[in-house]
Each structure stands twice: as structure tokens, then as C-alpha cells.
Chains A and B, each alone.
Chain A
């Protein structure tokens, strides 16, 4: 697994210093210094991938791992990155944050990776971000999440709560009416997402009439369902997370609760519409950038993303939202390295910050569709977002789609990482009265 060679970054740092003296000082270094006989190690790109293949998040994490491997295999087959072959370091963190911390250190200190993809949950990201920051490691966090991370070396190409909820909530408000009931998982993602529901409700002339936070270990939703019925809202916003919470959909169906539900978490990640027997997911609307069913040319055509994925992994159950983000962000990294002409992280980050687009002549289209653009200022992505609805038979249809930029960091916070290096996570409560 680990390589016995001398630090590659140390070599590049020294080499870079000789050639481009201006950048020598910015380098993070950390290796064991220059060595003349490690030239061969500069001919490979070392990518670290830490995704959950077992433990609590295996259901949603395993497709991320598979999609990363697919992207890497494709890139290697077509000549690598700038002529260099990719070498992957991959370990299974088993959904354990402490193991994540150990493995992140291992990836940086021992394997000296050029770039790292890691983590499903926000809790994991926050557990390893201090290590990432200390080592100035280029890092991709690819899960859809609550948003607000403005960090100089972290790139969050997954859609944020404002992008996801901001796509589905206005649609449901228009279709069904202004009264919203929120049910969310009781941890930072759920709490912040619920705050976003309030902000978005205010912006779209709607109102949150009830709100409940459910512990991740809970799987009985009888009282929650009764409380929703009592409040009698026009629709429910559900940000329930994890395997235990999946029971909510089965239970609300068997209790005869026939209310439209908008979600940023169900179906696109844990493919509940495939796992549960119909009609548990009937009338559920996902506001997401990707599901396996997204009807784009690059996704569903012959030889498209779905075909390639299942050709490599015939037994895989589903191709989920985060898998797509792992996939296209690997291509974003490739594009940035080729623009930068080096693997050195500060320069690659600078290239990423210049704004990388997929779906142009140079780079392949992201499976979610059209041009997907990385916003250099915030390290987030302007996504092609979809509202996807499951019907009585759990067939998915697209009812709306449009490009939605990341707004919170760019417009509200004014985060510009090209101007100012930061390592902060901003929350809606800092900026919106409605969120409180």
C-alpha cells in the first residue's frame, strides 16, 4: 500500500524552487527534502480516496468509492493526467471519524497524495478539516451538504442545502400551497438545513408551521406522523438521514399520510424508491443535482455514465448523487492540473480557482447535464439542478430543471478565497433573522 520512495512533494518543491523561484515559498513542503533519484515518482499522480465501504454510511459511501475508481480508470485509459498515470491510494474508513483522522494523516504524511477525496457526512468533514488545513492539503468533499464552508484548500463540488432545497421548495410552494412542516435529522446537517427551509420559506412567501428534529437512531415515526397530521401542512420538507430514518417513508405510507414531501436527502442517495416496495415513495420530490434516472444525453445514452458504471460494477445496486460528484470532480482536477502544468498543490488550487468548466470542448460533460462550472471564489459548483418526482409505481420523472448557482457564500457571505485565505464554516443564522 504505502510507497517507500522519498516524498514526492519534497522533490517537486525543490525542483519547483529551482525553476520557479517565486513559488518556492508558498509550497507546503512537509516531505523529507529533495532527492535526485525520485524522478520516476513525479511521473505519476497520487490520488487518495477515503470513502465508506462498510459501517453506517456504506450504503451511500460505497458508490462514491466506485465512481472515483471508474473516473480514474477512464482517465488512465485515455493517457492519464498530462501524460502521467494516476496511482490510487484507497482505504476503507468504515464510517468511523477517528479512523478517518488516522487515514487522512496516513494519506498526507506517508503516501503524500497530490489530492484527497474523503468523507460522506458533515461530521466527518469537520473531523478531518483541521488535519487538511494544517497540511494545506488539496481536498474534495463531494457530498451534498448544508453549505457554508469557505476554506482555502477544500473544494465542495456537491450541491448545498440552498441549491437543493432552493430548487424543490419553490416548486412545491407553487404547486401545493404555503404551509410547510419540516422533519430533519438531529445533527448539524439537519439543523442547518431546517434553518434554510425557514429562509427559503420567507423568500417564497411561505411559512413553516411545524418542525421536528429526529435522532439518527430513531426508527419509529408514529408520533411524528400524528403531529404532521395535526398541523395539516400543504407539504412536508424532509431532511431525514440514514438507514433508520428510511422507515419514515414506509410508515407514513402505511398510515395513509398522503402529503407531498420535498427532500434533499431521500432517493438520490439511498435509492429508497428501489429498495422499498411501492407506494412508499409516491409523491416524493427530490431537489438534487443527480439521480441515476436524470434524463441527459451524457447520463443515459448508450455508453453513457450509467452504462459505463454498471459495466464496471454489474452488481452495484444504484448510481447515486454523490457518486456523480466524485466522478466529475475527478475530471475537474484533471482539467486543473493540465491547466497548471504541474502537480504542485498551490498551483493546482490556483488553476481550480480560475474557474473550471465541464461540458466544454476540452472537458467532458458532467452526467447531471450541460455546463457545470466551478466557482473559483467559493470553491463550490454552479449545478444543473433537478426536481425529480416518484409516482405510485416509484417511476422517476423530471418535473423541473435549471442551473442554480451557489448563492450563500458568493452573495450573502461574500467569501472570495482568491482574495482572502479562510478556513471558516458560515451558517444561515449568522445572516438571516428568519433562520433563528
Chain B
């Protein structure tokens, strides 16, 4: 039997991984209705930019991480303008064709999946061509916590703290700021928001950049842990989607709840029966959640609340 402290640390670890993997994806999906299958590759951009900033430019790790996050946010901005909204191609095309050549991908789930899947393939191979099959990796900072026969990486414990901070900041931004208000208005009813003077297009750009920046932050934070190679995004994608599906429509609360639920399941099963069983348990949990809570945990909470309100 693995001891309780190990289990607790393992839970924090899984929680951080799931929350950070899902954060950017949940925002882009929840607010813009864009399924970003290149989410893993956005994480790749963050991880590579951070690692290269640290190893090639010699920046301190924290600064390198900030660079990685910003580079990814900028990259997201470019992707939004060119592929997702098509604003740039349209601006160019209007002179030639005299009308919109590209329809934005907002709320076009299947179309956005195909477009971003293509983008992810291009990005993986592009990274391989530009940087080769692997780049030199930075070491994990901060040493370890030892307790009896066991020890654990301090950095991974810190990560769980960071993931909570990310949730809190995101919650604050989307509920307490003007931008958050506009973003939520846009998600609820774009036409009305536009009529009330919200620059919805600008909201979309900003939101996509924020989502990308979060993906970049995840890449930056995991750069010292995961193996630096062009397909590193793959390992985040499944967890991210499972978390978003289980979490449901409420971005922050949903991500936090699925982090707790899935993190606990993953930690318990991997510790007791090994990594493979942990992975299976995670996927079975997702199947069960989809079967019984088709709108995710927060969708279910919402439904119960509505029913109560109607009953009262």
C-alpha cells in the first residue's frame, strides 16, 4: 500500500496536469465555439520558446517562461487573424474578389476541428524541419521533498499551486473585468452584444490570444519536465479534451471540477495498480461522465439549480 502523503502529492500532480492542459482549450472552446485540435502544438510553441530562450539566450528560467507564454499568445493572435477569423486573407482577397473569401470558424465545430487538425500537422512537421528531432532540455529546478523512503519533486508541487493561481486569475478576469463582461456577453448572444456596442471581433481576437497564452504558459511550465520533441503536444491533448468534456460549459468551474475528479481517479488508480490502469480509469470515467452527464459536471449543476428554482 502506498502511503497517504504520496497519494496526496500524486493527486496534486494529476490535478495540475489536467487543469493546465485544459485551461487554454476550455476558453477557446467555451467562448468561441472553436475546437482547437492544435492545442497540443500551441503548448509545443510555449515549451520550445521557453527552452530555447533559456538554453540559447541564457535567460533565467522564470523570464524564459514569460517569453514562452508571450510568444505563444502572439502566435495565437496570428492564427486567429489568418485561419480562424480569416480577417487577413479577406483583407487581401477583397481587392481581388471583392467579397469575403473566408468565413470565420466561430461556432463551426466540425470545420474548426479539420482546420486546426491540419494546422497541428503543419506545426509538428515544421518544428521538426526547423529544430530537428529534439532540442536540448533544461533541468527541473527546485530539488525534492523527502519523507521516509519516499521523495517527490518540489517543482511539481509548485505546479499545482500555479494551476490554482491560473484558475483564480482566469475567474477574476472573466467575472470582474470589462473585458470579461464583454467576452461573456459575446458568448451568450453575439448579435445583441454587437448591437449594444461590444466590439465582438476584437473580443474574439483577445480571447483566442488569451487561450493561446494559457496554452503557452502550460508549455513553459512543463518544459523542464516533458521530453523536448516535436510531438510533445500529443500527451496533453487527450487529458485536455477529457477535462473539457467532463467539466462542461462553465469554463473556470468546469476545469477546476474536472481537475479534482479526474485527478483523484488518476492518482488513486495509477498509484495502486500502475500507470496503465490509471490511464484506463481516466478514460472510463470520461465515458461514464458523457453517458450520465452529457453536459458535463457544470451542466448538471446548472440543471439541478434551474429545477430547484422552478420548484421554489
Contacts and interface: CB of A to CB of B under 8 A. Distances in A.
B156 to A, nearest CB: 7
A434 interface: no
Contact of A220 (B9, B17, B132): B17
A370 interface: no
B241 interface: no
A213 B276 contact: yes
Interface string A201-223: 00000000000111101111111
Interface string B183-213: 0000000000000000000000000000000
Contact of B153 (A56, A217, A255): A255
Contacts of A18: none
B133 A58 contact: yes
B2 interface: yes
A229 interface: yes
Q: How large is the interface on A (under 10, 10 to 19, 20 to 34, 35 or more residues)?
A: 35 or more
Interface string B270-282: 1100111011000
Interface string A249-262: 01101111100000
Interface in A30-62: 54, 56, 58-59, 62
A223 B267 contact: yes
A214 B149 contact: no
A257 B225 CA distance: 15
Most buried by A among B133, B146, B153: B133
B65 to A, nearest CB: 16
A232 to B, nearest CB: 6
A257 B9 CA distance: 15
A215 B133 contact: no
A220 B128 CA distance: 23
A224 B150 CA distance: 12
A244 interface: yes
Interface residues of B, number: 50
A398 interface: no
Most buried by A among B138, B150, B154, B155: B150
Contact of B146 (A215, A227, A256, A276): A256
Contact of A275 (B136, B154, B155, B225): B136
B274 A254 contact: no
A255 B228 CA distance: 19
B2 A226 contact: yes
Interface string A222-244: 11101101101000000000011
Contacts of B274: 212-213, 223-224, 227
B140 A251 contact: yes
B226 A226 contact: no
B235 interface: yes
Most buried by B among A59, A226, A232: A226
B151 A219 contact: no
A274 B128 CA distance: 18
A226 B139 CA distance: 20
Nearest to B239: A220
B227 interface: yes
A350 interface: no
A222 B13 contact: yes
A214 B278 CA distance: 11
A247 interface: yes
Contacts of A81: none
A381 interface: no
A229 B10 contact: no
By Cβ-Cβ distance, the 5 closest A-B pairs, closest first, are: A256-B144, A254-B140, A277-B139, A223-B270, A256-B151
Given A218-B279, A275-B134, 18 more contacts: A220-B17, A220-B275, A221-B275, A223-B10, A224-B275, A226-B2, A243-B134, A243-B227, A247-B227, A250-B137, A250-B227, A254-B156, A255-B152, A255-B153, A275-B137, A276-B137, A280-B139, A317-B133
7 contacts: A222-B152, A223-B275, A229-B151, A230-B2, A243-B134, A254-B139, A277-B139
